[in-house]
């Protein structure tokens, strides 16, 4: 089985488009689970406001918006691993239409995006 | 009992360590030209510092991370590089001006030019950092720094019109020389809220192993300690207002500042002024050097600890060694210490948004500080401060051109 | 991923090795990608800086290769815990990440009395 490598820190912040070329947002977070001694990627979080996120990962974006809007203004999409095409790491693509993606706001969790799965900090979800 | 002792020590070190070249010089200049009218900027700056010190202490106590750690971890290297570079650059200039302050004090005491004193002073600072540990560095120079209380004594002896002093605490616009007024206003803010101060404070909190039960001590130290410090700066301004303003003495050389206390306390006053200047600036020298090394080491993940021997943190030790000696070279080369002090204060003020605004984010991040995040009051104050720093940033360049000597 | 990136890395002797400057994802055809390793190195974080600064940093690293030194990679299976810091099961001292620290300690710092 051939495996290729790709750099997470360069992926984060990249603009993500869906199957039809529509912009979904920018890749904000990669959520992984610790399964069978490996950190297996479960999903990618692509944020509508991730452009602001890029200003140093949230300096004005999410935090300030959350302060003002209490978490409701911020939205983003959850892209399960099987729907993310990373064959070109500089242009990540979602293999389905944007409308088919679950929004981050839909899943319960006060701090939306990155934290629900990453809440337990030890050893899991890197 | 131990808590009271800690608190007392904390307050004492805050007082003793508050004044440095920038705050002394800007206060003297402000008093000499505008009387009490700029007292409000000292109050504003002190309040701002109080806020930042309390928050950086709280951050360290709750998370075990220093401000440097938190900036890198929360915002990533991409953003961190900005406060890193600006912090190092600006702090370096302030450091050089502090060495200049000590050197000038020695020049006034001995007659030997400050340029000859620069490297010995730098070496002395280096030696203290090399052989000493954090406690010695912080407490030593701060306790000696209590000599600066002489300014309060002198101010009281002059029996100022307290009514007019109080009026100076309210922001007013100047009736003459507008650009210079605002130039000094901004410089005083830069002198009061030096980022190295609260960054150093959080590193100290981690070195001393603060935990959540130190939070009230932290708050009390920040509020009481910084208030006293502000009072010290105000005292310097008041003395200058009463001694220099009537005589029309504008201070553009350190030697003129030396004339501050003799009219009030005679020759003893002169000696105490030199001691105050020298000790305060020397303390600042070691603190700024450490603060710079902390910022770099923490941001890049090196071992850092003033409590450990230099051998155990080779890169960190090398960093502070090179920094302090290089700053000494700048002074030895003969840069005008007063001009550098003024300029570096301006620069500090202009660079404030880069570190103050991230504090806003850090202290509200629930994932980071949890239940200890800012209450609405701290946020409101910090928000106001952030706006002030942005205004200052945009006015810095025009003011330097129009209002700088 | 933000739980991993930029965190301090401690080795088995609780020494600071550095910070997580980069994370490697292994892409497997037909299976979920796996976070396979993380890396420490100036070269690694320099690439994350914006545009021109990154190019300048990389060029700088090329001119003085000794400074940029190597990249230290830790496989995720070497990771013991991920919390406030990341602790690994290996000894950090022989790795490139601590090369400068070791060299400076031996050749410079130790030569100065009082170290």
Identify whether C80 is part of a domain: yes
Identify whether A17 is part of a domain: yes
Identify whether C87 is part of a domain: yes
Decide if A111 touches B, using CB distance below 8 A.
Answer: yes
Identify whether C55 is part of a domain: yes
Interface of C with A in 27-86 (CB under 8 A): 27-29, 32-36, 44-45, 47-48, 76-77, 79, 81-84
Please tell me which chains touch A, using 3 or more CB pairs under 8 Å as the contact test: B, C
- pTM for the full model? 0.89
Q: Which of B259-268, C4-13, C46-55 has the lowest mean pLDDT?
A: C46-55
When divided into structural domains, chain B yields a total of: 1
Tell me how far apart the alpha carbons of residues B92 and B33 are, in angstroms, rounded to a whole number: 28
Terminal CA-CA length for chain B: 51
Q: What proportion of chain A, given as a percentage, has pLDDT over 90?
A: 4
Identify whether C59 is part of a domain: yes
Decide if A116 touches B, using CB distance below 8 A.
Answer: no
Of the pLDDT bands very low, low, confident and very high (cuts 50, 70, 90), residue C65 is low
Per-residue model confidence (pLDDT) at position C68: 56
Q: Which domain holds residue C21?
A: 8-111
Name the residue with higher pLDDT: B126 or A65: B126
Per-residue model confidence (pLDDT) at position A109: 41
Q: Which tens digit of pLDDT belongs to each residue from B173-209?
A: 888 888 889 999 999 999 999 888 888 889 988 988 8
Q: Which tens digit of pLDDT belongs to each residue from A76-121?
A: 888 899 998 888 888 888 988 888 888 775 544 444 334 333 322 2
Of the pLDDT bands very low, low, confident and very high (cuts 50, 70, 90), residue A35 is confident
Nearest to B206 by CA among B320, B309, B298, B314: B298
Per-residue model confidence (pLDDT) at position C113: 85
Identify whether A118 is part of a domain: no
Q: Which domain holds residue A81?
A: 8-96
Per-residue model confidence (pLDDT) at position B93: 96
Strand C8-10 vs strand A102-103: parallel, antiparallel, or unpaired? unpaired
Contacts of A63 in chain B (CB under 8 A): 361, 364-365
* Token representation of residue B180: 């210079």
Contacts of C15 in chain B (CB under 8 A): 303
When pLDDT is averaged across residues A55-73 and rounded to a whole number, the result is 46
Decide if B372 touches A, using CB distance below 8 A.
Answer: no
* Token representation of residue B95: 């450091």
Q: The domain that contains A86 carries what CATH number? A: 2.30.30.240
Q: Which of B361, B362, B371 is the best mutation test for A, with the most CBs of A within 10 A? A: B361
Continuous H helices in B149-305:
150-157, 162-168, 178-192, 195-207, 215-220, 226-243, 254-257, 262-300
Low-confidence ranges of chain B (pLDDT < 50): none
Distance from CA of B79 to the nearest CA of A (A): 5
Q: How far is CA C2 from CA A56, B19, B174, B198, in A?
A: 12, 40, 50, 26
* Average pLDDT over chain A, rounded to an integer: 68
* Token representation of residue A94: 């979602």
User: What chain C residue is nearest to B132 in terms of C-alpha separation?
Assistant: C114
Decide if B383 touches A, using CB distance below 8 A.
Answer: no
Whose structure tokens read 């010995």?
A: B120
For residue C103, is pLDDT > 90? no
Identify whether A85 is part of a domain: yes
When pLDDT is averaged across residues C1-29 and rounded to a whole number, the result is 89
Name the residue with higher pLDDT: C19 or A46: C19
Candidates C7, C17, C101; nearest CB to B73: C7
Continuous H helices in B301-375:
314-332, 337-362, 366-369
When divided into structural domains, chain A yields a total of: 1
Per-residue model confidence (pLDDT) at position A69: 46
Q: The domain that contains B126 carries what CATH number? A: 1.20.1740.10
Question: Do residue A38 and residue C83 have CB atoms under 8 angstroms apart?
Answer: no
ipTM reported for the complex, 2 dp: 0.90
Question: Do residue C22 and residue A8 have CB atoms under 8 angstroms apart?
Answer: yes
When divided into structural domains, chain C yields a total of: 1
Question: Do residue C53 and residue B302 have CB atoms under 8 angstroms apart?
Answer: no
Identify whether C1 is part of a domain: no
Long-range interactions of C45-48: CB distance < 8 A, separation 24+: C45/A9, C45/B77, C45/C19, C45/C21, C47/A7, C47/A9, C47/A10, C47/C22, C48/A9, C48/A10, C48/B76, C48/B77, C48/B78, C48/C21, C48/C22
């Amino acid at each position: 089985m051939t495996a290729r490598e790709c750099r997470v820190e360069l992926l984060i912040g990249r603009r993500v488009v869906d199957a039809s070329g529509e912009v979904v947002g920018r890749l904000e977070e990669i959520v992984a689970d610790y399964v069978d001694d490996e950190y297996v990627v479960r999903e990618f979080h692509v944020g509508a406001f991730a452009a602001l996120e890029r200003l140093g990962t949230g300096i004005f974006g999410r935090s300030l918006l959350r302060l003002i809007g209490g978490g409701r203004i911020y939205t983003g999409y959850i892209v399960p691993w099987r729907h993310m095409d990373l064959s070109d790491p500089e242009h990540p693509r979602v293999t389905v239409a944007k409308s088919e993606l679950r929004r981050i706001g839909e899943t319960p969790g006060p701090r939306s995006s990155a934290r629900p799965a990453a809440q337990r900090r030890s050893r899991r979800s890197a | 009992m131990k808590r009271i002792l800690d608190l007392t020590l904390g307050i004492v070190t805050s007082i003793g360590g508050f004044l440095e070249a920038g705050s002394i010089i800007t206060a003297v200049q402000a008093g000499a030209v505008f009387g009490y009218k700029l007292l409000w900027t000292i109050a504003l700056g002190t309040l701002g510092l109080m806020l930042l010190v309390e928050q950086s202490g709280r951050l360290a106590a709750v998370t075990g991370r220093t401000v440097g750690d938190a900036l890198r971890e929360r915002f990533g290297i991409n953003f961190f590089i900005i406060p890193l570079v600006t912090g190092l650059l600006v702090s370096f200039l302030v450091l050089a001006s502090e060495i200049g302050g000590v050197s000038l004090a020695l020049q006034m005491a001995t007659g030997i030019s400050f340029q000859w004193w620069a490297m010995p002073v730098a070496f002395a600072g280096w030696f203290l950092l090399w052989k000493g540990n954090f406690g010695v560095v912080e407490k030593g120079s701060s306790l000696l720094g209590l000599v600066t209380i002489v300014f309060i004594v002198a101010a009281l002896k002059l029996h100022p019109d307290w009514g007019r002093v109080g009026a100076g605490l309210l922001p007013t616009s100047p009736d003459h020389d507008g650009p210079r007024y605002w130039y000094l206003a901004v410089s005083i803010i830069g002198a009061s809220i030096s980022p190295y101060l609260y960054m150093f404070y959080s590193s100290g909190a981690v070195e001393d192993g603060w935990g959540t039960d130190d939070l009230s001590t932290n708050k009390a130290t920040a509020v009481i300690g910084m208030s006293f410090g502000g009072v010290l700066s105000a005292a310097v301004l008041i003395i200058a207002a009463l001694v220099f303003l009537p005589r029309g003495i504008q201070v553009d050389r350190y030697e003129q500042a030396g004339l501050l206390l003799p009219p009030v306390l005679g020759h003893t006053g002169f000696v105490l002024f030199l001691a105050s200047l020298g000790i305060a600036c020397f303390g600042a020298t070691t603190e700024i050097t450490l603060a710079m090394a902390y910022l770099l080491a923490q941001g890049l993940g090196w071992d850092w600890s003033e409590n450990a021997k230099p051998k155990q943190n080779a890169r960190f030790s090398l960093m502070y060694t090179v920094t302090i000696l290089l700053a000494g070279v700048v002074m030895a080369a003969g840069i005008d210490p007063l001009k550098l002090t003024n300029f570096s204060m301006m620069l500090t003020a202009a660079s404030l948004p880069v570190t103050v605004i991230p504090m806003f984010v850090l202290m509200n991040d629930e994932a980071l500080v949890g239940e200890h995040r800012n209450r609405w009051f701290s946020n409101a104050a910090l928000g106001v401060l952030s706006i002030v720093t942005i205004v200052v940033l945009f006015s810095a360049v025009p003011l330097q051109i129009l209002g700088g000597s | 991923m933000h739980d991993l990136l930029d965190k301090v890395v401690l080795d088995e002797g609780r020494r600071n090795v550095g910070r997580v400057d980069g994370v490697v994802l292994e892409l497997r055809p037909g299976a979920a990608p796996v976070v396979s390793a993380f890396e420490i190195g100036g070269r690694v974080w320099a690439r994350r800086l914006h545009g021109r600064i990154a190019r300048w940093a990389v060029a700088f690293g090329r001119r003085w290769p000794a400074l940029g030194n190597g990249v230290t990679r830790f496989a995720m299976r070497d990771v013991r815990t991920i919390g406030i810091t990341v602790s690994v099961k290996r000894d950090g001292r022989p790795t490139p990440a601590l090369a400068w620290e070791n060299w400076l300690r031996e050749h410079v710092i130790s030569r100065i009395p009082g170290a």
